[in-house]
């Protein structure tokens, strides 16, 4: 379809029209919403600022004026929290999604970065345990993920998520390296898999995610936190497992910043997936 450029330059009072319904969980319901309207579910990247999240939320509102938007934000502790604790915090989101699916509504799910991917996987496991099916979607969008969580790329992702102040500049690098050292040592001595490696594997688990909906990977050659070769490998594995995969590669955009390079290319890929998506629920 023709290129779509609907990303706002700035959003006054970002996310002020969202209602907080749980831990880091927010819901926007327009006055025109009906049970037949779409549900957009966004799992954001770690430390994403409201002013940045709002650009995606406003763009989705322009594309789907009657849609509800369910927003699950991600902070540093959310990435390293255990599975049971994470799923407990995701229950308010589960309630919204289940009500929507039970009334026959269609859903678009987008995660950003590895942080959003980890929370999406935990949500899909919670859905599977509660409902007994893979997470039903009309389209799945994966932005700037998944990566393999190497030390250097994990360091960059965590450091940029920290508050910008003098203390961060002075002590941030040391603290992040110490945190990563502790994490990797703990995983080694307890013989546990790196959480990002687990997320990569479970994103391609057909028990958790229905293979029928289109899956779009949006990623960049210039991303310093998730390598484009890592995304390519994951997308190829998904295709071999039966997913209908679309890869949309950007040349110069930074991590989770592809709309700044080509907003039209970005949103056109998403709308193409939505228009091609099936509405049949998994059995």
Domain residue ranges of the chain, discontinuous segments joined by +: 19-149+198-276, 150-193
Burial-class residue 278 by CB neighbours within 10 Å (0-12, 13-18, 19+). Answer: middle
Distance separating alpha carbons of residues 43 and 21, to the nearest angstrom: 15
Contact 67, 38 (CB under 8 A): yes
pLDDT at 73: 98
Burial-class residue 25 by CB neighbours within 10 Å (0-12, 13-18, 19+). Answer: buried
Distance separating alpha carbons of residues 34 and 38, to the nearest angstrom: 9
Its CATH class, for the domain covering 19-149+198-276, is: alpha beta
Band of pLDDT at residue 222, cut at 50, 70 and 90: very high
Distance separating alpha carbons of residues 63 and 57, to the nearest angstrom: 10
Band of pLDDT at residue 159, cut at 50, 70 and 90: confident
Q: Flag whether pLDDT at 163 surpasses 80.
A: no
pLDDT at 283: 41
pLDDT at 279: 61
pLDDT at 277: 95
pLDDT at 281: 46
């Amino acid at each position: 379809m023709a290129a779509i450029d609907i990303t706002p330059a700035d959003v006054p009072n970002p996310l002020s029209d969202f209602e907080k319904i749980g831990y880091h969980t927010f819901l926007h319901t327009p006055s025109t919403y009906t049970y037949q309207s779409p549900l957009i579910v966004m799992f954001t990247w770690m430390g994403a600022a409201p002013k940045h999240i709002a650009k995606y939320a406003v763009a989705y509102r322009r594309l789907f004026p009657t849609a509800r938007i369910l927003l699950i934000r991600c902070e540093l502790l959310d990435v390293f929290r255990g599975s049971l604790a994470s799923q407990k915090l995701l229950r308010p989101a589960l309630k919204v999604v289940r009500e929507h699916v039970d009334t026959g509504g269609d859903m678009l799910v987008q995660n950003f970065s590895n942080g959003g991917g980890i929370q999406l996987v935990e949500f899909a496991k919670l859905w599977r345990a509660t409902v007994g099916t893979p997470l039903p979607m009309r389209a799945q969008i994966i932005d700037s993920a998944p990566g393999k969580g190497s030390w250097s790329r994990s360091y960059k992702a965590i450091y940029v998520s920290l508050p910008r102040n003098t203390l961060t500049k002075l002590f941030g690098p040391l603290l992040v390296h110490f945190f990563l050292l502790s994490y990797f040592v703990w995983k080694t001595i307890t013989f546990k898999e790196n959480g990002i490696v687990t997320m990569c594997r479970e994103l391609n688990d057909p028990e958790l995610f229905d293979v029928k909906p289109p899956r779009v990977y949006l990623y960049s050659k210039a991303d310093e936190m998730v390598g484009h070769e890592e995304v390519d490998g994951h997308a190829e594995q998904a295709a071999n497992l039966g997913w209908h995969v679309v890869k949309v590669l950007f040349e110069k955009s930074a991590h989770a910043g592809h709309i700044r390079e080509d907003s039209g290319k970005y949103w056109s890929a998403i709308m193409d997936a939505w228009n091609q998506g099936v509405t049949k629920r998994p059995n």
